[in-house]
Chains A and B, each alone.
Chain A
Amino acid sequence: MRRSIPTTAAALGLTLALAACSSGSGEEAEATTEGAATAEGTLTMWVDDTRITEMEPVVAAFTAKTGVEVELVQKASGDIGKDFVAQVPTGEGPDVIVSAHDGLGEWVNNGVVAPLELGDQAAAFSPAAIAGVTYDGATYGTPISIENIALVRNDALDPETTATTFDELVAEAKEAGTDFSVLIQQGDASDPYHLYPLQTSFGAPVFESTADGSYTDTLALGGEAGDAFAAYLAKLGQEQVLDLAIDGDKAKQAFLDGQAPYIITGPWNTSAFLEAGMEISVLPVPSAGGEPAQPFVGVQGVFVSAKSANPVLANELVVNFLATEEAQDMLYTEGGRMPALTASAEKVDDPILQGFNEAGATGAPMPAIPAMSSVWASWGATQAQIVGGQAGDPAAAWEAMVGTIQDAIDQA
């Protein structure tokens, strides 16, 4: 009797815990069918901080239509892909994720994303958008918006562009007499993404692509075309057109301050220019090497987790709702990004977005292979050495980089 309290307490704790185990089987209550036209269920959707506000009304419309609740979870844009890969296997991941398409290869490689069938609706999207959400021949998501960089002009400094090549553009820009001619943001590790239009104009895309626009893993950035581009980079570095000290923020600020008539940038910066009261136009990037300058096209897509507990509801949202014109129109109204659905894109009458769209018409989707991060790193480091003048022989540095990247891909 003396030890009655501790033993009782321990026994009680054990009983409670065991009772909890037996009752907590975790099964959701069956949906009742009595005259309910809507389904019960909750989808968890991960959205990054830049898109959550435009998603809210769109998923609210979906809930009104089907009765399926959608719980939006805000994730930091840098972590969303990483966390998705880490959490899906544990069963704690979301049902649906909204993200840029360049992490897709990694997800497929880890088996965390489910293929889906857009059916006939696939033809209603722009080819670049579909190419972005396609990996190894299978479609994995619904594209919702596309974005790419283009040449943005300060109309006050140069009202009419007559240049047809990049060299002419630099010469024309210098006539404005400002500190900078054509701003292309760099940084300590250069910026292959913003230099890519110039690189492709030399005919040196990062990978060869097949007829349907999807990439093979054969590198195409070497060879004579690549050497010519490397030499051109060194020239731009010597002429101080490119400067490693000008990173994204500084380039944006310099353009805002009217220190340059031109900047190569994306739609994420133009709103700031307009808010500052600037008159700007968006043009395609002129060719530097004779071939068309193709920027990378980034596709924002909505993907379904491979281990979603609600595959039917998730597909109802991703395929049957978000791929519709109504939803894409609403996303454009809320977020102001170029819709991936052709019919919605045609309704966009904003000259700035149209300019970006024309500049990206020839663009190529950003590669989504898992080895791409190693590619970015060596690519940027080499470009930084060429632009900064540390690389004595640009062509040799470029070829060494091609070897490194090939290694990275073989390793992956």
Chain B
Amino acid sequence: MSDPQAVTTAAPPPTLGGGTVTPHARRRPSPGFFVKLALVATVDALGVYGVLAAAAVASWGIVTFLVLALVVVNWAYFSPRALPAKYLVPGLVLLLVYQIFTMAYTGWVAFTNYGDGHNSTKQDAIASIAEQNETRVEGSPTLPLSVVERDGELGFAVVQEGVVEVGTAQQPLAPAPDANVEAGRVTAVPGWDVLQFVDVAGRQDEVTVLRVPFSDDPADGSVRTQDGSTGYVFRPTLEYDEATDTFVDTVDGTTYAPSDGGNFVSADGTVLTPGWRVGVGLDNFTRAFTDSRLSGPFVQITAWTFAFAFLSVATTFALGLFLAIVFNDGRVRGRKVYRSLLILPYAFPGFLSALVWRGMLNEKFGFVNEVLLGGAQVPWLQDPWLAKVSIVLVNLWLGFPYMFLVCTGALQSIPADTVEAARIDGAGPARILRSVTLPLLMVSVAPLLISSFAFNFNNFSLIYMLTGGGPNFVGTPVVVGHTDILISMVYSVAFESGTKQYGLASALSILIFVVVGVVSWLGFRRTRTLEEI
């Protein structure tokens, strides 16, 4: 930056907090200014490094974002007037990167057919199809090859049956007399420079795309090399025609034209892979309901997701509340010890607990069947209904301490004199619970129940670790099972069902978001009425 002395004479230096500048600081910037300078310099250095790195791989979107972010950051921290921005900028930048961008990207993917077979751009698809459909001419020789150059133009020099032949992309292979051959490979050709491996390594793309016609007859194919030292004669079975934007089969003349679905398709419906990413409108959103093989499990899974989330909240809340009330009673001895013990399930990571439970519920060797039930063989995780029960019970074990804590806190905030007053009015314990404790408790606990519902609605890790969604449905196009909830179904669609379908998975994610959003919104609207007691 500029010399701070020069700065001080021009303008009072802003301080970190943007506070008033004391006369003393007019002559020398405060230490805080230098700290700020160092911090912003670090951020700038990182940002410039990021710009360099992104520009090197030509990611212009990232470059633009970083440049803008750097300008905004520098303006915010060196302008005396942007006080709110000083506090908000870091959070806003992270919000943009981690939340807004992710949501927007998911939203965009949901309207495309991104997934297996439609993995990239049309340009990539054309390159891949062309490459995959170039076949070696049967019975053609393996040619020891050298890459040669003249006036910047590359060519191949090959040894065929003891004769050296040289050709370029325009010139078919023709004998080159007086060439020097060592160990079966051309080392010198008059009028040409023979490139060494090092030179080839510097011009790899040019070398691999070069096709030298084998003879004057195009049907004989052309010589290509992949390693710069061996050539093979190849003939394309499919050729891309740029003018008409079609692939033409060189054998039977079938044309493959690009379809709306992002594939080259022939008139009789033969599809070439790979395809490319195209927008498909609302297809992904409607597919869950229209594809008969998806819609059956989708409805079942949706119902189970609601049931699972509701039951999880209901059971954990009931048990947590019961225990909280019990241990809130002064007559129980050793309340602190009990309370500490009850928190334990909450202290273990849920991932681990679910895995441990999976082992304990094993049909044959699990602790539950072997020890507790004396060798019974209850298919805890194999039977569709028992697996559902197991999941709810394990989630109860995992979740009740949280509810216990929350209810304990809420109970202690209820003034004792209200309960006392109710008792003087002649209310029994049940009536006090129903008419005094619960309504007062609900004011603070209801929002937490809603968030707990939303959390369990997307409780992926429990399902994934405990049952993996199994036992699987038989006959569905995606691998889903009786205990899958919507989010684990999305995971299965996106990653586990053979053909990855990111578009469909994104659409389902958005549907889940809508459901959770609506449920939460309705719930929070209802909780407002609770407070009007």
Contacts and interface: CB of A to CB of B under 8 A. Distances in A.
Contacts of A189: 470, 472
A321 B58 CA distance: 33
Given A120-B142, A306-B127, A378-B475, A36 B198 contact: yes
B132 interface: yes
A217 interface: no
Interface in A215-250: 243-246, 250
Nearest to A311: B208
B226 A306 contact: no
Contact of A33 (B53, B124, B196, B476): B196
Contacts of A312: 200-201, 204, 207-208, 226-228
Interface stretch (A10-18, A157-165, A283-291): A10-18
Interface stretch (A20-28, A56-64, A341-349): A20-28
Contacts of B500: 82, 85
Contacts of A401: 474
Interface stretch (B182-190, B357-365, B402-410): B357-365
Nearest to B2: A8
Nearest to B71: A10
A374 B200 contact: no
A373 B498 contact: yes
B74 A6 contact: yes
B125 A21 contact: no
Contact of B79 (A3, A33, A370, A404): A3
Contacts of A171: none
Interface in B96-133: 116-117, 119-121, 124-125, 127-129, 131-132
A213 to B, nearest CB: 18
Interface stretch (A106-114, A191-199, A201-209, A261-269): A106-114
B475 A404 contact: yes
Interface stretch (A37-45, A125-133, A326-334, A358-366): A37-45
B479 interface: yes
Nearest to B492: A377
Contact of B227 (A13, A82, A319, A377): A319
Interface string A397-412: 0001101100110011
Contacts, number: 250
Interface string B262-293: 00000000000110000000000000000001
A114 B74 contact: no
A106 B135 contact: no
Interface string A377-400: 110111011001000000000001
B497 A377 contact: yes
Nearest to B276: A111
Contacts of A66: 197
Interface in B52-67: 52-53, 55-58, 63, 66-67
Contacts of A92: 57
A401 B267 CA distance: 33
A381 B227 contact: no
Contacts of B14: 5
27 contacts: A4-B7, A5-B7, A6-B74, A9-B1, A9-B75, A9-B78, A10-B74, A16-B51, A23-B52, A33-B196, A39-B198, A85-B500, A89-B119, A106-B499, A108-B273, A111-B127, A111-B129, A119-B230, A119-B232, A246-B364, A310-B204, A312-B207, A373-B479, A380-B472, A404-B476, A407-B477, A411-B499
Closest 7 CB pairs of A and B: A111-B128, A373-B498, A245-B364, A89-B120, A111-B274, A39-B201, A26-B56
Interface of B: 1-2, 7, 10-11, 14, 40, 44, 47-48, 51-53, 55-58, 63, 66-67, 70-71, 74-75, 78-79, 116-117, 119-121, 124-125, 127-129, 131-132, 134-136, 142, 196-202, 204-205, 207-208, 226-230, 232, 273-274, 293, 362-365, 379, 381-382, 468, 470-479, 495-500
